[in-house]
């Protein structure tokens, strides 16, 4: 591979890895296994080492994946939360041991801990009382989820022991027990909601929920694995874990002290067989040097400690034959390919179907009918195909190609630039989209219409009684009673619940409309910024993108929705039915020096962080925007403001204001 070829491959790898990081840390919806992800990282590391002139400080090989989201405040970790190096074989573990013994003085002991698959949390205590609880974030800064963490009964909010340090940090993994996970998914399916893929995704998603009451209801647990601070009680990691346990923190009783790499390997082998008996998902073993002095001697790379490594168990796989691929259309029109397989036993269940995610996955696997494929179930609800045994290929097998038109209505599919999925744009007439949108509308977090579910919606749809959400409000009991499994009592309950839904708050109505890319959180933001549906309907893309968290993709989707005449008719009918179309306007701070101003924050600051400046802007009545437009009032600029933003500001004649001037203007100096 020459330098030009390497450059192209490196750029593609970085882009692909960043996309996987976004799906794992932000969306809690990974599409590749840890093993596949690590292969991509390893390939990128090899290329960057071979072609050092192509290295970049922003490469994903040099930074921790980030779970930071805009709904929470962020704060810096006093002690960075680095990632761990991974290995899948014992030879690399022995190499790790040999490197350490050369790097530190004295005999080396290791602490072996089960690697639980959840959401990492770092909690600081001051004078024995919980101060802040931060997610991993980007390793340097994390989201403040303290309000949510305080609702988890397994986590102490105050420590009563007399021998605790004045300030310390306890780190752990927030987990969802398998039993809770299965119960939660059963409830979600009854409510017409998509099930969580696995307990890790469920725990991470719950931790980022904006309602602490929801967190409290999910029965999360937490196992702590680290004590950090000044003047710790012990000079060993194992000793400090035992101290943490004595202070009331839940630690893993299966942790062991090992005096050789041979004992470490025995521990790994033992738990590979026993881990399925645990109440939580585990995906490996973490091996740490026990001595804190030796940890300091070994030091760190830019991304991970040299004194710790994670041994990852490979997800269970099975080999079976691919019979065909079918294509399913979801509520928003997304088309998902699903592999139909010869039934095979995998992780205790019979697998007949596997996810293929999107057209890119089919292309990368180069799938053919009758291929022998490898199926993996690493905690996923629907297993996925991770490889093909090309040596066993039947040459007569036809290559699988992604379809060009919708399998339900025949409309040509669309794939927007920068998106992974194809979708059917015929959202007003495509049957699964029509039914899916009605199911979304009646769901608990939307209009909460009791007595209606997926089966009942399908029954009403197939009998021609409903074609859109407005039709629900025209239903009469005498239309329902003759239907299968209905009866007068059930029909009466459904009609009563439909009538009662007119009292649902405005922000949930915005969510219930099912606008593409408008989820529950975005709907709340829109309802606050546009306190009537008429205002939201008349907003253009430029106005929408001045709203914090609303980017061009969401704005374009909203405008497209409200320019469709059939949607306007549906909204008019909902309004006539009494649905709430207005809410409370967004409250702004009492000081109004920035009232009516739209401000873009750009660059690096010394006095406050970017997020703190955004809070100050809102406190004084202003609105934040992520993009510069003709409606931007001024730009608050720090060091290293992007040249493209500066050029656009100069082109539009928008004032660029420095940090000191802004603080003086707002009285925050």
Which residues belong to the active site?
115
CA gyration radius, the chain = 27
Identify any residues that bridge with 322 across adjacent strands, giving them in sequence order. 341
Inter-CA distances, 395 with 199, 340, 363, 368, 387, Å: 40, 19, 17, 9, 17
SS3 for 61?
coil
3-state secondary structure (DSSP) of residue 652: helix
Q: Count, in order, helices (H) and strands (E) of the chain.
A: 24, 20
Residue 178: closest CA among 200, 193, 149: 200
Q: Give dist(CA 284, CA 16) in Å, integer.
A: 25
For residue 320, the cross-strand partners are 373
**Dihedral Cα 563, 564, 567, 569, nearest 10 deg:** 90
The count of other CB atoms within 10 Å of the CB of residue 70 is: 14
DSSP 8-class letter at 86: E
Structure token digits, residue 127: 């004078």
State the Cα–Cα distance between residues 249 and 172, nearest whole angstrom. 10
Pairing mode, strands 282-289 and 110-116:
antiparallel
Task: Calculate the alpha carbon distances from 491 to 443, 447, 574 in Å.
Answer: 18, 18, 21
| Residue 328 β-bridge partners | 336
**CB-based contact 366:375 (threshold 8 Å):** no
- Please state the length of the chain: 669
Q: Which residues contact 167 (CB under 8 A, 6 or more apart)?
A: 124, 125, 126, 127, 229, 230
Please tell me the distance from the alpha carbon of residue 4 to that of residue 598, in angstroms, as a whole number: 44
Hey, CA dihedral for 195, 197, 200, 201, is it positive or negative? negative
CB 312 within 8 A of CB 286: no
Q: What is the DSSP letter of 657?
A: E
- How far is residue 439 from each of residues 384, 433, 458, 575, measured CA to CA in Å? 27, 10, 9, 20
β-pairing, 282-289 vs 308-312, is: antiparallel
Q: Provide φ and ψ at 530, rounded to 5°.
A: -125, 85
Q: Tell me the CA distances in angstroms from 653 to 251, 419, 650, one per residue in order.
A: 59, 34, 5
What's the CA dihedral at 443, 447, 451, 454 to 10 degrees? -30
Tokens describing residue 655: 């004032």
The gap from C-alpha 554 to its chain's centroid, in whole angstroms, comes to 18
Query: Residue 544, CB half-sphere, CA atoms under 13 Å: how many?
Result: 24
Q: Structure tokens of 70? A: 């805009």
Q: Which of 249, 174, 252, 250 is nearest to 218 (CA)?
A: 174
| DSSP codes of every residue in 237-288 | HHHHHHHHHHTT--B-TT-EEESSHHHHHHHHHHHHHHGGGSSS-EEEEEEE
- 188 bridge partner residues: none
- Torsion angle of C-alpha atoms 85, 90, 92, 93, degrees rounded to 10: 60
CA distance 99 to 96: 5
């Amino acid at each position: 591979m020459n330098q030009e070829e390497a450059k192209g491959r490196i750029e593609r790898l970085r882009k692909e890895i960043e996309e996987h990081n976004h799906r794992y840390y932000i969306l809690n919806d990974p599409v590749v296994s840890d093993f596949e992800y690590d292969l991509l990282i390893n390939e990128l590391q090899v290329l960057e080492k071979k072609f050092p002139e192509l290295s970049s400080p922003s490469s994903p090989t040099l930074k921790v994946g980030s779970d930071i989201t805009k709904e929470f405040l962020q704060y810096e970790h006093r002690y960075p939360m680095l990632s761990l190096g991974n290995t899948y074989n014992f030879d690399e573990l022995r190499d790790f041991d040999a490197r350490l013994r050369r790097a530190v003085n004295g005999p080396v002991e290791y602490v072996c801990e089960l690697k639980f698959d959840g959401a990492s949390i770092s909690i600081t205590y001051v004078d024995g009382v919980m101060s802040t609880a931060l997610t991993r974030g980007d390793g340097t800064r994390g989201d403040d989820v303290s309000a949510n963490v305080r609702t988890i009964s397994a986590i102490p909010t105050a420590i009563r022991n007399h021998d605790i340090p004045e300030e310390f940090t306890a780190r752990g993994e927030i987990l969802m027990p398998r039993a809770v996970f299965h119960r939660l998914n059963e409830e979600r399916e009854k409510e017409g909601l998509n099930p969580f893929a696995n307990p890790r995704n469920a725990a991470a998603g719950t931790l980022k929920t904006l309602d602490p009451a929801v967190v409290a209801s999910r029965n999360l647990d937490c196992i702590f694995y680290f004590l950090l601070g000044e003047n710790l009680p012990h000079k060993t990691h194992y000793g400090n874990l035992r101290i943490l346990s004595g202070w009331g923190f839940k630690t893993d009783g299966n942790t062991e002290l090992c005096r050789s790499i041979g004992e470490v390997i025995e521990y790994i082998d033992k738990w590979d067989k026993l881990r399925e008996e645990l109440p939580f998902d585990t995906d490996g073993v973490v091996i740490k040097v026990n001595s804190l002095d030796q940890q300091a001697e070994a030091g760190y790379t830019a991304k991970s400690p040299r004194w710790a490594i994670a041994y990852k168990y490979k997800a269970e796989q099975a080999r079976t034959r691919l019979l065909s691929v079918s294509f399913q259309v979801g509520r928003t029109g997304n088309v998902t390919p699903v592999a139909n397989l010869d039934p095979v036993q995998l992780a205790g269940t019979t697998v007949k179907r596997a996810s293929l995610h999107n057209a890119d996955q089919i292309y990368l696997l180069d799938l053919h009918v009758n291929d022998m494929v490898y199926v993996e179930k690493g905690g996923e609800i629907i297993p996925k195909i991770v490889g093909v045994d090309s040596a066993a290929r039947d040459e007569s097998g036809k290559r699988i190609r992604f379809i060009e038109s919708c399998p339900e209505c025949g409309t040509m599919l669309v794939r927007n630039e920068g998106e992974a999925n194809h979708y059917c744009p015929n959202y007003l007439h495509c049957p699964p989209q029509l039914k899916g949108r009605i199911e979304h509308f009646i769901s608990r977090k939307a209009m909460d219409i009791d007595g209606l579910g997926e089966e009942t919606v399908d029954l009403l749809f197939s009998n021609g009684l409903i074609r859109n959400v407005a039709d629900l409000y025209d239903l009469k009991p005498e239309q329902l009673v003759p239907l299968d499994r209905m009866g007068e009592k059930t029909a009466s309950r459904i009609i009563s619940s439909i009538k009662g839904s007119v009292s649902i708050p405005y922000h949930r109505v915005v969510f219930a409309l099912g606008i593409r890319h408008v989820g529950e959180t975005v709907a709340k933001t829109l309802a606050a910024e546009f306190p009537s549906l008429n205002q939201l309907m008349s907003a253009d893309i430029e106005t929408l993108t001045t709203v914090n968290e609303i980017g061009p993709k969401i704005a374009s989707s909203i405008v497209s929705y409200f320019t469709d005449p059939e949607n306007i008719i549906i909204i008019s009918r909902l309004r006539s039915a009494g649905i709430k179309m207005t809410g409370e306007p967004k409250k702004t701070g009492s000081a109004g020096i920035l009232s009516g101003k739209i401000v873009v924050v750009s660059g690096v600051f010394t006095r406050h962080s970017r997020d703190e400046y955004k809070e100050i802007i809102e406190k004084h009545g202003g609105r934040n925007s992520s993009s510069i437009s003709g409606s931007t009032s001024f730009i608050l600029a720090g060091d290293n403001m992007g040249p493209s933003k500066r050029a656009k500001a100069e082109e539009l004649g928008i004032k660029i204001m420095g940090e000191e001037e802004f603080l003086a203007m707002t009285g925050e100096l």
